[in-house]
Amino acid sequence: MTLSLCSRYSPCNSVSTCRTLKAEAHINDRISFKIFLGMDIADTGPDETTICNFRNYIGSIGLGDDLFEEINKQFEQKGLIVKTGTLIDASFYQASTKPPAKGKEARDSDAAWGAKGKGKNKKYCYGYKVHRGVDQGYGIARKTEMTNATVNDHEIFDELVSGNEQGVYADKAYDGKERTEELETRGMNNKLMNRRARAKPLSKSDKARNKKLSKIRAQVESPFGIIKFKWGHNRARYLGLFRNKVHLLLIFIAYNMRRAYSLLVF
């Protein structure tokens, strides 16, 4: 199984909700899969163990990150990454297992309980968080990160900023004096929604600004919404942060490829 074949196959497998064993069967049964992978019709595809080992291998040496960046570089050359702004957001991602019963050891030692929101809108999740930075122009994901669910959204802000965008859009959770000064220093437009200070309500102009920014920022929901609800990845597939992180990266590579195809062909 060549590196080229593996690299082509891994993102495609990530789109499907089927297990790797079924994916092995698809490669051997479907001619379209073999053509895409550069295989001869008579060739036998990689087995389940090879596929799993390769996925873990590319994560261990950082090849997944290199692949993500290389593909995005090609999209940029095609004019699909416009850099007018980066839309930032984070969403819960349920663990593949149930929370451990009281006094019992967790099957997934990396998963944790997290909470978002306040009052009636407060949501809880046992598992992880998926953080992403999406290009404002055509919705290509430029940065992704995964943490356990306890990590605050704003802690991963810097990892989601590419550095060459004109501005950054994000909700109130990311707002703060230091963040505002940081964006100003870097020459980026501050498009973070204003957060209400303690005992000081937002002004009418702040509310109007938030409403305007909210409509633009809402575009960041689309990529992960497609991944979760259309592709069926509504929870983690594996145990542990490392394996799920690699899988997530491959999913976003597949999403970007699908998105680019729709923009370039239709």
Distance, CA of 236 to CA of 26 (rounded, Å): 22
Q: Where exactly does CATH 3.30.420 map onto the chain?
A: 83-241
pLDDT given for residue 241 in this prediction: 97
Give pLDDT tens digits along the chain (266 positions).
Answer: 444 544 455 555 555 544 555 667 777 788 887 887 788 888 887 787 887 888 888 888 888 899 999 999 999 999 999 999 999 999 999 999 999 998 899 999 999 999 998 888 899 999 999 999 999 999 999 999 999 999 999 999 999 999 999 999 999 999 999 999 999 999 999 999 999 888 789 999 999 999 999 999 999 999 999 999 999 999 999 999 999 999 999 999 999 999 999 999 86
Alpha-carbon 258 to chain mean position: 14
Distance, CA of 169 to CA of 220 (rounded, Å): 9
- Structural contact between residues 35 and 53, judged by C-beta atoms closer than 8 angstroms: no
pLDDT given for residue 226 in this prediction: 95
In the numeric block, the tokens 């702004």 are attached to: 85
Question: Could you tell me whether strands 86-94 and 167-170 are parallel, antiparallel, or unpaired per DSSP bridges?
Answer: parallel
Query: Which CATH fold would you assign to the domain 83-241?
Result: Nucleotidyltransferase; domain 5 (3.30.420)
pTM: 0.87
pLDDT given for residue 24 in this prediction: 73
Neighbours of 259 (CB within 10 A): 19
Amino acid in the structure at residue 15: V
Distance, CA of 100 to CA of 103 (rounded, Å): 8
Neighbours of 14 (CB within 10 A): 24
